[in-house]
Amino acid sequence: MRDLRLRLRRTRRTPALRRLVRETALAPGDLVAGAFVVPGNGVRDPIPSLPGVDRVSPDRLAEDARRLADLGVGGIILFGIPASKDPKGSGAWDPKGPVPEALRLLHRASLDLVLLADVCLCEYTDHGHCGVLRPGKQEVDNDASLEFLSRAAACYAEAGADVVAPSDMMDGRVAAIRAALDADKHADIAILSYAAKYASAFYGPFRDAAGSTPAFGDRRGYQMDAANRREAMREIALDLDEGADMVMVKPALAYLDVLHEARDSFDVPLGAYNVSGEYAMVKAAAAAGALDEKRATLEVLTAIRRAGADFILTYHAAQAAVWLGERE
């Protein structure tokens, strides 16, 4: 037993040895940065609940995307914040909206960066839910929402998105979006489904950033119960059957068991979303001097990779890429 412990310890003795035997690799190319896009020009509006993250206009986003590409970050996902909202969330498929405008700019720039567009109505509806409501009722109409989600996905594909990422958790939305993309001659555009998206307490800063807190009720009727793991595997299987090319688990840290089981169960590209609340916790603890931000951030991201994620959506992307470029 002692000899085995000595053998294990010997391989930890120097930074070079630790790198040589390291089981899990984390690289900038494994990361997808999140970005909040607003209308206008020259806008850079800091988000207090997400230190280091701004709401930006398309032109400023183009500047940020060039830096991400230079750092080797794998991709960027866009969340739109429209100038005005309505019950249907019609800004989601407005070709002059902030996300399509930004996608056109980024597409023309030909950056070595995967362009992803989040597909949901919550940022665009005046009630803050992820789909449209039944007439005269305070409940989401799943089937009626599919048409509008499909319009948004087709709009983003036309503007230059490489990947559309439905995050709404409406039943059947992957099939509806795939059909809409194919009908619009966008059969080459991939779908990343938020297949296992939980009704989580860790979304608070995002809702603050996007102004998407529900005006009534909550999203537990269509997002998953935090207590369920097997249900997530059924959700993932259904989305793959409908045509998803990639799937994602959201959030990441409190759901590493779900992520690990998904990796064992499905041989497809698998993402994990290191969500706004997880990011904000690290930032707050670091600001209070309670932990080392660099070490904690890279440890969190490595843990998500170790659990099975092929790629990670994270607000840490730019800073993590800088740190990853430094030697241990």
208: left (phi over 0), alpha (psi -120 to 50) or beta: alpha
User: Is the omega angle on the peptide bond into residue 251 within 30 degrees of 0, that is, cis?
Assistant: yes
Q: 85, 88, 197, 283: which is the annotated catalytic residue?
A: 197
161 and 189 Cβ atoms separated by less than 8 Å: yes
**Residue 250 among the catalytic residues:** yes
Query: How far is Cα 20 from Cα 15, in angstroms, rounded to an integer?
Result: 9
Measured CA distances, 167 to 41, 120, 173, 191, 243 (Å): 27, 6, 10, 11, 15
Q: 85, 137, 185, 250: which is the annotated catalytic residue?
A: 250
**Contacts (Cβ under 8 Å, ≥6 apart) of 39:** 57, 82, 83, 97, 98, 101
Q: Which amino acid is at 11?
A: T
**Residue 185 among the catalytic residues:** no
Measured CA distances, 3 to 7, 9, 10, 132, 167 (Å): 6, 10, 11, 64, 51
160 and 199 Cβ atoms separated by less than 8 Å: no
Residue 105: other Cβ atoms inside 10 A: 16
195 and 248 Cβ atoms separated by less than 8 Å: yes
Phi and psi torsions of 235, nearest 5°? -60, -45
Instruction: Return the H-helix or E-strand segment holding 146.
Output: helix 142-159
Angle between helices 58-71 and 98-109 in degrees, nearest 10: 40
Query: How far is Cα 142 from Cα 151, in angstroms, rounded to an integer?
Result: 15
Please give the positions annotated as active site. 197, 250
